[in-house]
Structure 1
């Protein structure tokens, strides 16, 4: 088990680099992953089933213990990221499937990577997990609803397909995972050690499929425009998520303290891009180019999240800001005494 944990830690540490290398390999040898085009839904279901296995009733109870912060954080996620996506499509004049792909990744729930980034930055991981759970459970309803409202101007939105697919690959696996956790209890601990490896391998397979399917168009003049859009989308999410949490601190200082501000920043800015790619390949199968923004997002938000969490930690250490600080203010040194 120790070797498995070590392998999981190694994979997590180097995951972003591995994603880039794996994407490059599939770009030059697309036959490696083309076989999985029809199986991305199953791959993502494995990831979310694993997520369910790690959850207990206590995790859901946290949502009710701090409902205001969880609900407000979830609303912020589902308002800020979709609207930024629409704005960026307008600014960069994106159209058709590419615009749909940008909006689709903006309508997805928060990504599981945000939990890791929140932990590394000394944020409120419990709040991060709670918002992630709620946004994921709402995904089968929120994604088709938001897509119909925001993306119908570009293509006809198959909202029924989006709803059914999200229900099958998101809600059902999570519920089954939670049920297994409740039934087998302590025995699940032996399995959860392997889950990080399984989840990350599944995400790599999905990325490989998207790159392979879009091999000819991945770096065309049209799709290259998605790279700055994705970067701005993610960074704007961080900025507005943090600004929103600072505003909420003024309204409710007991709840939206420094560690909660960090958690909401990551929860707003980081998306479940694996789900976005899967939905694009299934519900918009005729135009697989719609999955490209999710693929770019998957690589980029792991890079930006790692940089931001490391900077936040160094910043707090430099200025002596404790993890439980009220609002991120540096601890003032005592004034020197005069004799």
Structure 2
């Protein structure tokens, strides 16, 4: 309605906002969580493999299927190569999934995003635009790894501070995501109005594929219902804000950020609907 209302958002503020979200997620990690994850290596490893196979491949295939212009294709593939989103933990709770597993999976995919995101983006999107994998690696390291480790450190050694700050982190994350996505959309508002239908369809197909194959393949691997729901949500919900920041910083065409911005809305809507449906039935593992 009024794109100029987001003109105050600068790249530095975008990175700061993402850093705050990652720091908040790091504060949810404890040694007990890590021990719990070690007790279910099959689920964590399966989720990790599905995260970095289903979504990148889906992004590539959807861009080919819809014959997306190179800048939109690059943005869609970049979203597919990003780690799981922090909102997935909340959606997992609503869907009666395994929340502890969700937190560990998000952390694992985020930590390994330092390597996986630039590598997969360069492999799959390199033919569309020139991708500087080294610069992407350094950028991901700065906005993902260090804040998450910093949050975990605070949670381990400064519990009183974390207990004071933790209630503020979810609303701050929501506001930050809304501002960053609003800024990305405002920068390309005219392009979204012109070709928004195509980008929206591509984003919905990408995330629907993640939710669907995440659940089906997890069940085929013999993983229980609660954990399969969790894996489905982790695979289907990406860190789209990271995609916006990386696309803004590393891709020459500003239109590359459009799929990343639209993606954050698409996965939230699909994930919320799925959580509403799944919430109606309690898995036997959760009942036990």
User: Which residues of structure 1 form unaligned runs of 5+?
Assistant: 1-27, 250-255, 327-339
Alignment of 1:1-339 (within 5 A): 28-38=1-11, 39-221=13-195, 223-249=196-222, 256-284=223-251, 286-314=252-280, 316=281, 322-324=284-286
When the two chains are superposed, the root-mean-square deviation of aligned CA atoms in Å is 1.6
Say which SS state the counterpart of residue 221 (structure 2) adopts. helix
**Farther off after superposition, 59-68 or 305-314:** 59-68
Say which SS state the counterpart of residue 130 (structure 2) adopts. coil
C-alpha separation between the residues in 2 aligned to 1:325 and 1:260?
Answer: 13
Runs of 4+ in 1 over 3 A off after TM superposition: 321-326
Say which SS state the counterpart of residue 59 (structure 2) adopts. helix
The Cα shift of 1:97 comes to 1.2
The Cα shift of 1:157 comes to 0.7
C-alpha separation between the residues in 2 aligned to 1:124 and 1:165?
Answer: 31
The Cα shift of 1:41 comes to 1.2
Contact persistence 1:257–1:325 (CA under 8 A) = no
Say which SS state the counterpart of residue 154 (structure 1) adopts. coil
The Cα shift of 1:273 comes to 0.7
User: What does the per-residue CA deviation read over 1:226-279, in whole Å, with 9 as the maximum and x for residues that have no partner?
Assistant: 111111111111111111011101xxxxxx111111111111111111111111
The Cα shift of 1:59 comes to 2.2
The Cα shift of 1:133 comes to 0.8
Contact persistence 1:122–1:323 (CA under 8 A) = no
C-alpha separation between the residues in 1 aligned to 2:133 and 2:227?
Answer: 34
TM-score relative to the length of structure 2: 0.95
C-alpha separation between the residues in 2 aligned to 1:267 and 1:157?
Answer: 26
C-alpha separation between the residues in 2 aligned to 1:288 and 1:60?
Answer: 39
Contact persistence 1:109–1:271 (CA under 8 A) = yes
Contact persistence 1:280–1:291 (CA under 8 A) = yes
The Cα shift of 1:323 comes to 4.8
Say which SS state the counterpart of residue 238 (structure 2) adopts. coil
C-alpha separation between the residues in 2 aligned to 1:55 and 1:322?
Answer: 26
